[in-house]
Amino acid sequence: MKAIIGKKVGMTQIFDENGIVIPVTVIEAGPCTVVQVKTVETDGYNAVQLGYGEVKEHKVNKPIKGHYAKANVKPAKHLREFRACEDCIGDQKVGTVVKADVFETGDAVDIQGITKGKGFQGVIKRHGQSRGPMGHGSMYHRRPGSMGPTSTPGRVFKGKKLPGHMGVDKVTIQNLEIVKVDLDKNAILVKGSVPGNKGSILKIRQSVKASK
């Protein structure tokens, strides 16, 4: 199973052998330590837990500290779990260090992260709705629109798109291409953008769907 925890460094651009510019996201991939290997026999499903980042031991609570102690590894700042198939979980052992070399140039990956927070936004920015006429006689500019029937049923239908909090959602982008793997800096360059702010934590794994 190809999977790792990474940190978003930022975006830049590189040139391929034909001189075509490619926008890429730089991700610091690992090093991660295998903390636990779950199997159907012991846990009911197959998965691998990875730990990433350094943390002072006094900042870890007792249950988590015991979890790392059972694996005989140092506590990590971030702990993430990756579901795996039975065939590809056999080569994973507790204590193994996973680095960026688990991926190769050209691999397709799925990346999951938390999107940027936008705060309280209206329906135009939040849902992409169109505005009303902006002339002086118009009484409707950036409002949500009709709330539905009046006396029957006398309520706003569930699911009506309204203003509210935008962002801070868990999003997965599939089939992103790895353009370059830098083993010296333990970084991978992924074509295009990925969710989250600079410094946000990402889950990176081998793509579950074949790219077209």
* Residue 140: strand, helix, or coil: coil
Do 118-166 and 3-117+170-206 have the same topology in CATH? Answer: no
Query: Distance of alpha carbon 203 from its chain centroid, rounded?
Result: 5
DSSP string, 137-172: T-S-SSS------SSSS-SPPTT---SEEE---EEE
The fourth-level CATH superfamily of domain 3-117+170-206 is: Translation factors (2.40.30.10)
Query: What residue segments make up the domains of the chain, in order of their start?
Result: 3-117+170-206, 118-166
From 102, 105, 99, 113, select the one nearest 30 (Cα to Cα).
99
* Cβ-based neighbour number of residue 122 at 10 Å: 16
Q: pLDDT tens for the chain, 212 residues: list them.
A: 788 999 999 999 999 888 899 999 999 987 988 988 888 888 888 888 999 988 888 888 899 889 888 888 888 899 999 887 766 555 678 888 888 888 888 889 999 999 999 999 999 999 999 999 999 899 889 999 888 777 888 888 888 999 999 999 999 999 999 999 988 888 999 999 999 999 999 999 988 886 54
What's the distance, CA 139 to chain centroid? 42
In the sheet where 76-83 sits, what is the strand order?
76-83, 47-54, 32-38, 97-98
**Please, are residues 46 and 40 in contact by the beta-carbon 8 Å criterion?**
yes
Q: How many CB atoms lie within 10 A of CB 107?
A: 16
So what CATH class is 118-166?
few secondary structures
| Residues in the chain, total | 212
